[in-house]
Amino acid sequence: MSTTGFLSSQEVIQVFDKHVIPNYGRYPISLVRGEGCHVWDAEGKRYLDLFPGWGCNILGYSPSRLVTAIQEQAARLIHVPNTWYTEQQGEFARQLTTHGFGQAFFCNSGAEANEGAIKLARLHSSEGKHKVITFENGFHGRTFATLTATAQPKYQEGLGPLMAGFRYAPFNDLEAVRELIDDETCAILLEPVQGEGGVNVATKEFLEGLRALADEYGALLIFDEVQTGMGRLGTWFGYQHFGVQPDIMTLAKGLAGGVACGAILATEEVSPSLRPGMHASTFGGNPIAMAAGIATVNTIEEENLLENVQIVSAHAEAKFKELQEELPIIQDVRVCGMMIGAELTIPAKPAVQKCMEQGVLINATHDTVVRLLPSLNTTTEIFDEGFEVIAEALREMADEA
Domains and CATH numbers, the chain: 1-44 (no CATH), 64-303 (3.40.640.10), 305-400 (3.90.1150.10)
Cα Rg of the chain (Å, integer): 21
- pLDDT (tens digit per residue) in 222-243: 999 999 999 999 999 999 999 9
pLDDT of 171 reads 98
pLDDT of 401 reads 86
Q: How far apart are CA 296 and CA 66, in angstroms?
A: 7
Largest CA distance in the chain: 65
Q: Is 363 left (phi over 0), alpha (psi -120 to 50) or beta?
A: beta
pLDDT of 161 reads 95
- pLDDT (tens digit per residue) in 249-285: 999 999 999 999 999 999 999 999 999 999 999 999 9
Q: Write out the binding residues for pyridoxal 5'-phosphate.
A: 110-111, 139, 224-227, 282
* Mean pLDDT (whole number) for 148-158: 95
Q: Write out the binding residues.
A: 110-111, 139, 142, 224-227, 281-282
pLDDT at 127 > cutoff 90: no
* Mean pLDDT (whole number) for 12-40: 97
Q: How far apart are CA 115 and CA 148, in angstroms?
A: 10
- pLDDT (tens digit per residue) in 77-108: 999 999 999 999 999 999 999 999 999 999 99
Residues whose CB is less than 8 angstroms from the CB of residue 289 and which lie 6 or more positions away in sequence, other chains included: 106, 108, 256, 259, 260, 261, 283
Q: Write out the binding residues for N(2)-acetyl-L-ornithine.
A: 142, 281
- pLDDT (tens digit per residue) in 356-370: 999 999 999 999 999
pLDDT of 283 reads 96
At 3, the pLDDT band (50, 70, 90 cuts) reads confident
pLDDT at 186 > cutoff 80: yes
Residues whose CB is less than 8 angstroms from the CB of residue 106 and which lie 6 or more positions away in sequence, other chains included: 89, 92, 93, 261, 262, 263, 281, 284, 285, 289, 290
- pLDDT (tens digit per residue) in 323-355: 999 999 999 999 999 999 999 999 999 999 999
pLDDT at 2 > cutoff 90: no
Contact 224, 194 (CB under 8 A): no
pLDDT of 42 reads 97
